[in-house]
Structure 1
Amino acid sequence: MKAISLRLRLFLVILSPLFLVSILLGWWRFEVAQDTSEQLFDRTLLSAALAISRDVAISEGDALSPATRQVISDAGGGELFYHVTGPGGIYVTGYAYPPRPETPVARDLPSYYFAKYRGEDMRVLRMIENRTIGTLTGDTVVTVWQRVNDRRAFARALAFRAAALMAALMAALALIIWFGVQIGLRPLNDLQAAIRQRSPDDLSPIRRPVPNEVSGIVATLNRLLVQVQVSIEAHQAFISDAAHQLRNPAAAILALAETLPQVQDPAERAKCERQLADAARKSARLSEQLLSLERLRYDDSTAMEPFDLNSVVEDVCRTFAAKALSGNLEFDLVLGTAPLTVMGNPVLIGEALINILDNALKHGGGAMSAIKVRASANDDSVMISIQDDGTGIPPSKVGTAFRRFSQLQHGEGTGLGLAIVEQVMARHAGRVDLVPTEKGTKFCLSFPRHPQV
C-alpha cells in the first residue's frame, strides 16, 4: 500500500478543520440570516401599520396616501396585506377578512403572531389604538400581514450569498495552502536531491541548513552514516587481517606440497607429511575461527534456548581431557551440584570454552602443570572459571589479548580465540573477565541465570 505524500497529508490536516469551521460558520450565518430577516420584515410590518394608521386618522378613513401605498406594495420585496376597522368594529379599508389571533393581543403595544390566510402561513401584526374618525371615537384596529415564504426566501438569499463568499474564500485558501506547503517542503526536496547526488562511497555527515523540525532526522541519519562508516572500516580491516593470516598457512602448505614429491628418504618424507597435515589443520582451524567470528558479528539469527550449562561444560571437558592428559597435565573439573540453567546457544558457548582451553594449552608454557574448570552459580549469575598455573597474562596486556589477530608472544595460535570468546559472551548478555591470580591465568565467564520453570 502506497503511503500518502507529506504534502497531501499536511494539506488535509490544515484544510480539514478549516472546512469543518466553515460548515459551522455557514450554519451560524443561516441562523443569523433568518433572525435578521424576521427583524427586518417585522419592522416593515410595523412601518406599514404606523403609516396606515396615520393615513386613516388624517383622511378620516377615506384613503391611503400614495407614499403609504408605495411602502405597502414594495415592502421588502414581498406583498403586504392590511385590514383596518374603526370604532365599534366598523370596516374602514383593506382586505375583507384578516387573520385572527388564537389568543387575545395587547392593546397598548403592537402584537406579532403567526396565522393561516388562504391556506398560507402568514406573519401578522395587529395594532390597537384609540382614534377619532369623523364623529366616532374608539379603538382602531390595524392588521398587517405578509407571507412567511417571502421572509424565508429572503433569509435563504442572504445565507446563499454568505455561503458563496465562504466557498470562494475556502477555494482561495486551499490554493494558498497547497502551494504554501510545497514552498515549505522545498528544503526537504533540496535535501533529498543532495543525498541522491552522493556517490555510494561518500558517507560523510550531511551538512545542509534544514528546518528545526527535521534537524533531528538529519542528526540521526548522520549518526547512522558514522556507524556504517565504522562498520565498513572494521569489516575491511577484518578482511585485510584475515587475508594476511591465511597467507602464511597457505604458503606453508604450498611449499610442503611442492617439496614432498622430491623427498626420497622415508623418515624425512614422513616428517614432511606430518608438517603438511599440521599446516592444513592450522589453516582449517583459522578458517573455522574466522567464520565463527564473522557469524557472531553479523548473524543475529542464532537460536537461543534454556539448557543446563553443566552438560555443555562436561562434554567439552571430556573431549579436551585427552589433550591435557597427553601433555602430562593435571586436568580437574568441578560441576555445579544443581542444574545451572542459562538462556543461550550450547554450540557457541562450547566454542568459547574450547578456545580458552586451547589457549591455555598452547600459551601456558612448559612450566604449566594443571588446568582447573569449575561451574558454579549465585542468585543472579552462572559462572565458568578456567584456571591454569602457566605463564599468565600481564595486566598491561589484557587489552591486547582480546584483540583480533594479536598474540602476546609468537606461538601456534591465530590470535582469534579470546576475540571469539568476547563476542560469544556479548551475544549471551554475559561477560568474560581475566581474574587476577598469584600464578597462571584465570578466566571467568558470567551468564545471566535463567529462571527454572
Structure 2
Amino acid sequence: MRPLSLRWRLLVAGGAAILVSLSVGIAGLAALFDRHVERVAVANLEARAQAVIAMVEPVAGGAPILRQAPRDPNYDQPFSGHYWQLRLGERTVRSRSLWDYAFPMAETARHGAQEVVSLTGPRGNQLLAIERHLLVGRGPEAVPMAVIVASERAELVNARRGFFRDLLPYAAAMAGLLLAAFVAQVMIGLRPLSRIAARITDLSLGKRARLGGDLPSEVMPLARQLDLLLDDRDREMARARHRAADLAHGFKTPLQALMGDAGELRRLGQARIADNVESVAKTMHRLVSRELARARIQSDRASATCDAAAVVDRVVRVLQRVPAGRRMDWQITVCDNAIARMDGDDLTEAVGALLENAVRHAVSGVRIEMSRTAKMIHIEISDDGPGIPEKDLARLMQRGERLDSSDGQGIGLAIVSDILDAAGGRLSMINAPAGLKVTVSIPGAD
C-alpha cells in the first residue's frame, strides 16, 4: 500500500483535530446550555412554589387555613405539563392539571429543606420538580407542610434542540473557515518542499546544475547535502571517463603493434596465425574505439544545448561528399524550435553513426524527418534497403550486438544507445514497408 504524502498526512491529521475539537466544544456548550436552562427552570419553579406556599395562611392559636389557589391557565388545564401539589398536615390539595394523579411525597424530611428531583408525570412523562418541606406555626402547634412544583422536561429538550439548530450552522461555518485556513497554512508551509521537488525534477531533466541556496533555512541542510552529492558524482564520473580514456589509449598502441606483427607473419607464410591475430586485434580495436566514444559522452547536461536541425544538416553535408552518400537521394524535413537539451558533439556522433548505417544499406535514398512534441524532439531516419529480419531487431539493440562481422569504423548501435541514455533520450527501430526506420528521441529545450 502506497503511504500518504506528507501534505495529505498533515491535512488529514489537522482536519481530524479541528473536527474533534469543534465536536468537543459543541458538546461542552450543549452541557453548559443544559445546566443554564435547568437553573433557569429551577428558579422559575421556586417562584411558582412561593406562590403556592402563599396559599397557606397561618392563624394565631389555631390551625392554618388554605386560601383559594392562584388562577393560572397552566395549572387549570388537565395534563398541561405544569403541576403543583400541597400537603398541609393530613390534607392534600393539588392543581387541576394533575387531575386525579398524586405525586409521592416523603413522609419525613428536614424542615426547611428543598430538593430538586425528577418525577414521573400523569402520562408517564418526565418532570423536573422541586420539593420543599416547611413548618407552619411555632411550637407544638406547628403543622408540617410539603410542596411540590413540577414542569415537563420536554420543554428543556425543546430548548436544547432549538439551541442546536441555531448553533450548528455557525459551527459548520467555523469548521469550514478553520479547515480552509489550515489547508492554506499547509500549502504555504510545504511550498518550499514543492520547490525542492521541482528543482530535483529539473536536475533529472538537465535544466539545473544544482539545487541552489535560495531556499528556507529549514531545508537548506538537505539542499546542501544533495549539492555535495552531485559534486562528488560529477567528480567521480570525470575520473571514470579519464580512466576509460587512458585505458583505451593505452591499448591502442599495442593493438597497432599486433596488427603489424600479423602482417609480418603473413609475409613469412604464416597466414593462418596472422588471420587469427588480426581477428583478435580487430575485435579488441572495436572495443577500444567504443570505450573511447563512451568516454567522450558528456555527463553534465544542465546547460548543454544544440540545434538538432543544424547537426543533421552538418552530418548530411559530410556524407554527401563520400561516394556512397553522393549517389543517394536525400529527403530532409526539419521542424521549427529544434533546440535539443544535449551536447552537440554527442548528437553529431549518434546521428552520424545512424546515417552512415543508412547510407551503407540504402539502395537509392535516405529520408530524414524531424518533429517536435511538448518535451521531445524526434528524428526519423529511413532508408530503402533490405531492412533487418524481425527476429534480429531485438537482439541488435542489445549491448555490443552486431549483425555483420565486418571491421568497419562504426561504433555500432550500442554506443548510440549509450549516448542517448546519457542525454535522457531513446532509440527505436522498426521495419518500414521499404527498408529500416530508426527513430531518435531526445529532450527538447524550453
Q: Which has the larger radius of gyration?
A: 1
TM-score under structure 2 length normalisation: 0.50
TM-score under structure 1 length normalisation: 0.49
